[in-house]
Structures are given as C-alpha cells and as structure tokens.
Chain A
C-alpha cells in the first residue's frame, strides 16, 4: 500500500508544483492521474521515487517512509517501484536485452553488471518478459532500431523485471498512435492484474483512462480536485480539472470506444 501524506513540492524557481497531496493507493489498484499540462502529474510520481526531491510531506510504501531514506536505502526501495516513461527512456545505444536487464541493476553488483554477466535467473526472466510482450526475437537488436510501440514494451519489461510492488507510469502513450496507445494501456493493465501490482498512470487522454482504470484522480495546479470512479467523470468534473470546454463529445466518444475497443 502506498500512502502519500501532504506531499508538497516547491521548485527553486518558486513554482509550487504540488501542494499538500494526500492519497492512499491500496495494493493492486490501478489509478489514473489526469489533469492539464503543468498540473504536477509528472512531479507527483517523480516525488514518490525521489527522482525529484519533495519539499515536504511523505510517501510511505508498505510502512517504509521513502522520503527520509538515505542513498543506500533509497536505492533498495527504488527496486520496488518500476517506472515507465513518456518517451520510453530506453538507453538507445544498448540492446533490448541490456535495457531489460538494466531493471536488475539494483540487485546485482557493479562488476557483474559491467561485464554483463547477469545471473541466469535474471536472463531467463528477461526472456520470459520479452516473450510476454511479443519481442523475444528482438532481444539482441539495438533499442533505437525499434518502433515507438515496441520501445514502450521494452520499457514495460524493464520496469517489471525489477519485480516491483508499484508501477509509476508517466504518460505511457503520449508519443504513440491511438491504436498502439490502447494496446500499451491494455498491456500495462493486464500485467498489473496478473501480478497484483498497484500503478499510478499519468495520462492526459481522459477517454483512454476511463477505458482501463478503476480509479481516477484529477490534479489541477498541484492539488487533488477529483477522486472517484471513471464513470463519475462528468462534464462538470472535467471543467473543474481542465477548465471550460464542451466535454459531452469526449465522454460520448468513450462510450463508443468502449463498445468496439475490446478487439483493437
């Protein structure tokens, strides 16, 4: 279970990116974080694994306060939080296999990783994951030879091989076409269900979020302004999160997509 208590981030420029965010995410819950650009979605998930240092408040993962950990303790906890990035963030000049295995870096020593002599169990796990996402044949290709959707699958494998209990997902579909977007979202949600993983998914495609998740949190100017089920997202709520716009069309589109989305 992940608990965020009054998480606040003020950047050195004085911008208040997060103010007093309090959330509880039970084990195995997939949560979509929606909100306009600059609302603090990325900052929020980066404050959880401390790629960004929160100014105050705490993030507690299964009774361990991540915000107060020293460098060694933080590395150990980061192993339990897999992260998936917007622009895939694969190391482009490394092979697919190296990228996937880099998810095990928190578990193996420097020399082992430097010589690429990962334990056989890690190698097998990498092969299994690549097979699961349909990229087994690509194992020795360089990451920059893959298409966007394929790269994001590798990114998913890298996060999952960490054997995490929580996934932090930052705009996984922002650079993908609509069909691939859905496939990636479906894959992430399926894998979370298979493994009982909790996930926080930043996403600005409201319709896509509604299709796949059980809980939606709306963030606006660093504050939580909505927390509820996907069907509670009414035009009034969307106006509160994003500002005035004709929301009926968005919501209708979702209903249509729901009907034909299953076979995409």
Chain B
C-alpha cells in the first residue's frame, strides 16, 4: 500500500463542484434567488405586501429601482372579467357547432391542406441543397457561410412577420401562407439536416471518397444513406408544424383554416371556434400517428 493511498482511504468522496470557489458558488446562488424574486414578485409586490401590514403607505415606491424591478404586474380585476369570457369559450367545446359554417370550414381546411403539403414539399426541396452547403464537413467555407446565412435569415424572421409582409404584397389568401411556410421550412429543415450531416460517421464517407468518387457520388453513397431516416422524420414533423402554422397564419390574412377561425372569433361564435379547433387537433393527431408508423418502418 502506497502512502498516497493511505491518505485517501476512509475519506469521504464527493463529485468535485462545477464552480470550484465556495464563495463564488454562494454568491451566484444568492443572485439567482434575488433575480427570480425580483422578476416575478418584484418591488411592487413587496410594497403591496408591506402596505397590508401598514409598514409602508399604499403605492409606496422603492425610488429609482422601482422603475425596473417591478416584476410581473397582475391585474386581478381584469382577470376576473376575462374569466367569464374564457368560460364561455371553453363551454363552446361542450357543444361544438360543425354545421352552421360547414361550407366555410370545408373551404378553409381544403386551403390549409393544400398550403401545408405544397409548402412542405417545396420547402424540403429547397432545404436539401442548402443543408448540404451548410454542413461544414462536406462544403467549402464560402458555400458554408452563404448557406448558414440563408438559414439564419429564415430562422430570424418569424412566420407571422413574414406572413404580414407577404399579405401586404400579395394580398389576402393562401399564396402568402404557402410562401411563408416554404420559407420557414428552410430554416428548420436545412439547419437540423446540416447538423445531422455534420454528426454522421466520417469514416463511411471517407471510404466512399477513397474509391475516387466525385462530390455528388460521395453525397449519394456516403452521406445520404446515413441521414435519410432523420430526413424523413424531420419532414414528417415539419408537415405537422406547417399544418399548425397554417391555422395561425390565417389570423393575419394568409388564408386557410386560420382565416375561418379568425372570422368565427370576430363573430364571437365560440361553438364554431370549438369545432374548428377540434378539427385541427384531430388532424394533428392523425399526422402524429402516421409519422410514428413511418418512422418505425425506416431504420
């Protein structure tokens, strides 16, 4: 037995802490507690609480900090009024009305389905070459930077913002929705596919390269088989997302079931709203089930 072992035997073993200095650890912990407290309850919450016990006057302010550390303001009377409307809305689910506006719902669903499928197919078709360009292990640096830039733009611009701009340019209707969703699909699919390509088994692609294959052949034989299951899974998921997004985009005039939903909201027809939401939920569930089956079959 060595002397070094002798010293260690019988001593308690603990995982070394992530932050080594004890005082730093405590300081960070205290700051986190203060931050969470200030962000949620805030100075106004504290002031209100103290006022209940008569320690400070009603409407007391903590000087300058009060402007920044107010926390989340909760307006209880507004919530009370809103609850009634909320209950009315939820009540709609107990007697959903499919009949009154069935023609509109059918038309909206048709538009949404067309928009979803078209935008997913077009989006994927554009995403694949961009994903290949955005994978650092197979693309040269200039191509990589361009493709990453396109992806970043697509991800930075939220669907709603793009849709609002496109509705302004193209007018109301599913065309704006179709282009918006195709554009959004690029940011999602190209990014995740590129990451999958970067994570692939390098040696398999190297083996194909070592036979004298050209770039396209290397992608076709060395890369594609490795990322195909993931590509199919992501595509199914994106189909699902695009359908749900199509319901939201209708709210800003980009057509589809969302437009029908928006009209029903505007007319306070909560039974019709409930019917539409139930149809959306049902469709998403069917898509989820289908993608489960497909993904289980592809390994």
Contact = CB atoms under 8 A, between A and B. Distances in A.
Q: Which of B206, B211, B217, B220 has the most CB of A within 10 A?
A: B211
B24 interface: no
Interface stretch (A86-94, A197-205, A224-232): A86-94
A94 B221 contact: yes
Chain B interface size, as a band, is: 20 to 34
Nearest to B225: A93
Nearest to A76: B212
Chain A interface size, as a band, is: 20 to 34
Q: Which of A83, A91, A114 has the most CB of B within 10 A?
A: A91
B210 A51 contact: yes
Interface stretch (A20-28, A98-106, A177-185): A98-106
Contacts of B212: 75-79, 105-107, 162
B216 interface: yes
Given A90-B204, A92-B204, A113-B217, A106 B211 contact: yes
A140 B95 CA distance: 57
Contacts of B213: 75, 102, 105-106, 113
Q: Which of A81, A89, A155 has the most CB of B within 10 A?
A: A89
A158 interface: yes
B204 to A, nearest CB: 5
B214 interface: yes
B206 A91 contact: no
A207 B267 CA distance: 86
Closest 9 CB pairs between A and B?
A: A106-B212, A105-B213, A78-B212, A89-B207, A93-B225, A79-B212, A83-B210, A89-B203, A75-B212
Interface of B: 201, 203-204, 206-214, 216-217, 220-222, 225-226, 228-229
Interface of A: 49, 51, 75-79, 81-83, 85, 87, 89-94, 98, 102-107, 110, 113-114, 155, 158, 162, 168
